[in-house]
Amino acid sequence: MKILVVDNVTIGMHSLMEALKGYPHDRISYRQITPAILNRYDKVILSGGHGFGVLHPNSKYKRELDAVKKSRKPILGVCLGFQLICRAYGAELGDIKRYEKGVLVVRKVGADPLLKGLPASFKVYENHRHIVKKVDGKLVELAVSKDGIEMVRHRTKPMWGTQFHPEKFVKRTIGRRVLYNFLELKP
């Protein structure tokens, strides 16, 4: 199995690379992504990012949005990657009143293989300023928090997203289980 990590200019890349030790993977910039590149890999992870938001239309992530829409490969979007998946499939995004940074409790609202082994409520690490308020019929909510939707999956494609960072603060949270559940899925 070969994994592609799409770097959306996240400050957490070191933690994500640490979590992927033992898994063959490559890393590219979001500026390089194409559907053809995605098709060379068994699984794709869209990292978080801090440089540019996806709330308002802009051309920064056009290539990534197009690749997400065309892909049939298993994809996990983290934070900004989650927001990109949600934006690609018509979800309603918004600002939050305060920047969310720290450990937060999320609650499962759906069943999914990525939630295997997790309790009904669990702690995760958040670091974002935008939220997903509502998804349309192509995405299904899997987990929520006081701020909004925390985890989704696509109804027909092998695609998931987490608003939280499963790669961060592993001694205080259990979000990494979601990442490993994704990596353990059969392609």
Is the model more confident about 170 or about 158? 158
Is a pLDDT exceeding 90 seen at residue 25? yes
The answer to whether 7 touches 27, Cβ cutoff 8 Å, is yes
CB 140 within 8 A of CB 153: yes
How much of the chain exceeds pLDDT 70, in percent?
92
**pTM of this prediction?**
0.93
Q: Which of 9-13, 57-61, 141-145 has the lowest mean pLDDT?
A: 57-61
User: Known catalytic residue: 86?
Assistant: no
Give the model confidence (pLDDT) of 96-114 as tens digits: 777 667 788 999 999 999 9
> Which of 60-69, 119-128, 154-163 has maximum average pLDDT?
154-163
User: What's the mean per-residue pLDDT of the chain?
Assistant: 89
50 counts as catalytic? no
**Is pLDDT above 70 for 16?**
yes
Active-site position among 64, 100, 150, 167 = 167
Cα separations in angstroms, 93 against 90, 96, 110: 9, 10, 20
- For the chain, give every domain's residue range: 3-184
CA atoms within 13 A on the CB side of 156: 6
- For residue 7, give both structure tokens: 């770097």
CA distance 64 to 141: 22
In the prediction, which pLDDT does 187 show? 65
Helix axes 62-70, 80-88, angle to 10 degrees: 70
Query: For the segment 153-163, what is each residue's pLDDT rounded down to a tens digit?
Result: 999 999 999 99
When pLDDT is averaged across residues 123-130 and rounded to a whole number, the result is 80
Percentage of the chain lying above the pLDDT 90 cut: 61
Strand partners, 152: 141, 161
CA 184 to the chain's CA centroid: 16
- Residue 115, C-beta contacts closer than 8 angstroms, at least 6 positions apart: 108, 142, 143, 151, 178, 181
Q: Annotated catalytic, 126?
A: no
Third-level CATH fold of 3-184? Rossmann fold (3.40.50)
Report residue 134 CA to chain centroid gap. Answer: 16
At residue 162, the pLDDT reads: 96
Q: What is the pLDDT of residue 11?
A: 80
Judged by average pLDDT, the poorest of 89-93, 136-140, 167-171 is 167-171
Task: Choose, from 79, 86, 130, 154, the residue flagged as catalytic.
Answer: 79
d(CA 58, CA 130): 15
Q: Mean per-residue pLDDT for 162-175?
A: 84
